[in-house]
Amino acid sequence: MANHRKGSKKLLNAWAFYDWANSVYSLVIASAVFPIFYGALTIVKDAEGNIIDDTITFLGFDWNNDTLISYVTGAAFLVVSLISPLLSGIADYVGNKKIFLKFFCYLGALSCIGLFWFSVEHLWFGLLCYFLALIGFWASLVFYNSYLPDIAYPEQQDSISAKGYSLGYIGSVILLIICLAMIMMYETFGFEDEGLPTRLSFVLTGLWWIGFSQYTYWHLPKGNKKEKFTRDLIFNGYKELRMIWAKLKENLRLRRYLTAFFVYSMAVQTIMLVATYFGIEELDWGETDHTVGLIVSILLIQLVAVLGAYLTSKSSGRYGNIQTLIGLNIIWIAICVYAYTITTPNQFYFTAAFVGLVMGGIQSLSRSTYSKFIPEGALDTASYFSFYDVSEKIGIVIGMASYGYVAQVTGSIRYAVLFFILFFVIGLLLLLRVPRK
């Protein structure tokens, strides 16, 4: 293990490189290949490509396929929100954040590999792997994000946070292109079964995640505290959350910002998770291969997101973090209004370009803004970020439950888009109440 001083270039780059390692999950599993794969398994279409049946039986009940996957997703986020305070509190006191980061990385990566065996006949196993992969990815981010104030000074945090997201987008695009090449040219690669390359994509995702994360583990410090573990520490994380909540009452700026983040992030994260399902079920693809079209649109989002993260970092330096976040929420409102009306692939591509532009920006700037608002010199950074992540995850649970309910009741995802506009409007109004100083 290397030993670097806070703020050193090698340490900052090693931290950011974990985004390169783990972002393949959010692209291949959460956004691109798995949603298309899941749709192909659970949707019955006629010869013209029209949906005949999208009902799936699980645990003795008939579910709309979108509702089932959204409820499983929401349940996983609920678990993450419950366990992250427990784990982060222990990590803060014992000083072993890296051990937790590794554990959830390996849990998520191995679960991605397990998706190779996903099938309708053994749906419980496939959904379990999907469930555990999601927990592994998001729980690892609790500890990854909490390193930011430990390894970077406030003036470095916006740029290195943006760099992390940019590396994640670039790395995940590279792997997605490899997976897309295997899927579309499976005979060229020597595959007789056209479904095998899709399943191998899940294996490659897990191996990529484990392999590239080793560079980060070599350079990151173990933690920022060293105290003996006792039984009292088991529930220390929840005690620390109460302590953070008490501190928020004394920190008006941090409290108001976190409230605004909770609301607008609810919509951002849910839209990112359901965008591909929207493209599968709500668009008229005509003669276009919808698999290629959807993956192209997702690649477009990732590539434009690199530019978005960079421009947002520059904008925050010139206009301030809160003002920039206000502008991003306004753009998101416009995107939702337009997305409700789209029916063609070209309209979807146009929307995807704007989503990419603001997606990377709002994620990286939200993380670094929160890091800046944490009191300088605070040692319980994992608990602060646990509070941040719990807020985000509970928001996603609400967002996914809303999406699943709308899909089940109306039979259309399109109406959920209108509901998300409300979140962005409220988030915008709350950001206007955050004190500038």
Mean predicted confidence (pLDDT) in 325-354: 88
- 14-431 in CATH: which number? 1.20.1250.20
Span of 13-17, 62-66, 368-372 with lowest mean pLDDT: 62-66
Task: Please report the pLDDT score of residue 214 as a whole number.
Answer: 93
Average pLDDT over residues 267-281: 80
Q: What is the pTM of this model?
A: 0.75
Does the pLDDT of residue 225 top 60, yes or no?
no
Q: Which of 94-108, 120-134, 285-299 has the highest mean pLDDT?
A: 120-134
Mean pLDDT within 118-147: 88
Q: How far apart are CA 74 and CA 80, in angstroms?
A: 10
Rounded to whole angstroms, the Cα distance separating 351 from 359 reads 12
* pLDDT at residue 204, rounded to an integer: 95
pLDDT of residue 437: 65
Here the tokens at position 216 are 């980060």
- Give the model's confidence band at 395: pLDDT under 50 very low, under 70 low, under 90 confident, else very high: confident
Mean pLDDT of the chain: 81
DSSP 8-state class, residue 360: H
Average pLDDT over residues 52-63: 73
Across 22-179, the runs of DSSP E, i.e. the strands, are 44-45, 51-53, 55-58, 61-64
Look at residue 21 in the predicted model and tell me its pLDDT.
93
pLDDT above 90 (res 397) = no
Beta-bridge mates of residue 45: 51
Let me know how long the chain is. Answer: 437
**What is the amino acid identity at position 64?**
N
**Phi/psi of residue 410, each to 5°?**
-95, -20
Highest mean pLDDT among 109-118, 155-164, 179-188, 366-375: 109-118
pLDDT in tens, 237-249: 677 778 887 887 7
